[in-house]
Amino acid sequence: MIIIKFAILALNLTPYFTQSTDIPNLSEQCAGWPDDGKTTRFAGAKRWQHVGNHRVEIFVSPSSLSNPNQAIRAIMPWARHDTSPQTKAVVVLSAETELVVSDCSVISSTPESGDIVFTATSGPGLYHAYYFPYSNGGYGIDTQLAACDNNNNTNNNNNNNNNNNTSWFGDLELSSIPKATVGSLQSRTLFDAFGEMELPATAAETAALLERSAHPDGVLLVTEDRMIPVRMTNKLPRRWANINERSPDSLAQFNSLAAPGEHLHFQVALFSPLTSVAINRLDFTAGLAPLGLSCLNLEGSDYFGDPYFPSEAARTVAEGTVRSFYVATVIPEDAVGGTTYEGEVSLVGKSGSSYTASVKITVADTPPVKNGGDNDHWRQTRLQWLNSKIGFGEGEPRASEALTCTWRVLDRP
């Protein structure tokens, strides 16, 4: 039982990736670098192995270059979920020549955006700003891969950077420096891509989201499909902010299609910005009773098949964090296609507070699925194995038959 349960945990924590996001004016693309057959100019070194898997497109127009040493400014709304971005290096290279720019400085670097000034030494065209390099300086054999000077980085260890100052662009006011056009966010492969649940909302978007949709005590409830797991615990995804802008009420509404006999799971996520909230139980209305709802976070069975109830700490949404509660349902095998189960589910807190979402599950007009849907990995129905009682309550296993030894040969009876 222990092996099975750990195995399924690993299976269902597999990252969920997408190629598109809802970032205004930006889209996330899978760029797939390096291009097949394209060699780097860095003495045989594989540049992409050092600059990281994430970059921003920067387009420098001919009209913005008054001279070859013209300073260019780029403000990149990269929407980062990592901590302390001001301590991370930024590397800018020409897409055409693959050469690092001669001068570059990071003016500011925050989770929401990065502001850099650089010299477009390769002329007008496309440049790439890599903002998740594998090393914050000292790029192996790529001694030419100097990172931009970061004025906010007191721990910068860019030993290969000869540009550790901002004096190269003189006394120019930032407002007077021509701005480049920022294109899309790009990942090297689809696996590297930040899915729509890993691009955080800005402070303004978060404030608007809470103002429109939070409960009176400040707690925000959002329902999500099993296919879109909550991935950030200390930030709200921009996906929620965009849904909230289009239809605030839909955040607390879950609608899904399920096959007869399917073990359907969905998430009820809570964000508590002001205080910690301990959840005690899951309640649901009569319309959902035929589905036998349960919450995997609040109840289940342990490795010995005995009832399991997690500690208060394990079911508490800490202040300033997001926690996802997984709700399990079982669609009756004899359910007729088109049948709908509607009602409300509520997470009831220790203090008596209740956070409610509306649920509507429609039965698909298909034959019943086998084994609750476990044969189809994409359904993620194997979450039910966390509470499996197979092997318990079926009597003691039969005793092993004694082995006999004849001369030096071990005989099985």
Q: What is the pLDDT of residues 264-283, one digit of tens each?
A: 999 999 999 999 999 999 99
Sheet holding 125-130, edge to edge: 28-30, 181-187, 54-60, 125-130, 91-94
User: With contact defined as beta carbons under 8 Å apart, do 343 and 332 qualify?
Assistant: no
The closest alpha carbon to 196, from 251, 241, 226, 233, belongs to 241
Tokens of 304: 């010995």
Residue 130: strand, helix, or coil: strand
User: Which letter, b or e, does each residue of 213-246 get, where b requires 16 or more Cβ atoms within 10 Å of its Cβ?
Assistant: bbbeeebbbbbbebebbbbeeebbbbbbbbbbee
Question: What predicted TM-score, i.e. pTM, was given to this entire model?
Answer: 0.77
Q: What is the pLDDT of residue 191?
A: 85
Residues of the chain with pLDDT under 50: 1-27, 36-45, 136-144, 153-164
pLDDT, tens only, 63-120: 988 887 889 999 999 999 988 888 888 989 898 888 888 789 999 999 999 999 999 9
CA dihedral angle for residue 129, residue 132, residue 133, residue 134, rounded to 10 degrees: -170
Q: How far apart are CA 189 and CA 186, in angstroms?
A: 9
Measured CA to CA, the distance from residue 134 to residue 136 in angstroms comes to 7
- Looking at this protein, which amino acid is placed at residue 198? E
DSSP state of 252: G
CB 232 within 8 A of CB 80: no
Q: What is the SS3 string spanning 152-170?
A: CCCCCCCCCCCCCCCHHHC
Instruction: Write the pLDDT tens digit of every residue in 115-150.
Output: 999 999 899 999 999 998 875 444 333 444 566 776
Report the distance separating Cα 356 and Cα 359, nearest Å.
Answer: 10
**Strands, DSSP E only, in 162-298?**
181-187, 220-225, 253-258, 263-272, 277-284, 294-295
Q: In terms of DSSP bridges, do strands 404-406 and 409-411 run parallel, antiparallel, or are they unpaired? A: antiparallel
> Angle at CA 322, nearest 5°, toward 255 and 152?
130
Query: If DSSP codes are grouped into helix, strand and coil, which group holds residue 174?
Result: helix
Q: Pairing mode, if any, of strands 307-308 and 300-301?
A: antiparallel
Residues of the chain with pLDDT > 90: what percent? 51
- The separation between CA 397 and the C-alpha centre of its own chain, rounded to angstroms, equals 44
Query: Residue 359: exposed, middle, or buried by beta-carbon count in 10 A (0-12, 13-18, 19+)?
Result: buried
Helix (H) or strand (E) holding 210: helix 203-213
First to last CA, the chain: 29
Q: Which residues partner with 130 through β-bridges? A: 55, 91
Return the closest-CA partner of residue 206 out of 217, 216, 214, 215: 214
Sign, CA dihedral 194-190-14-240, equals positive
Q: Quote the pLDDT of residue 116.
A: 94
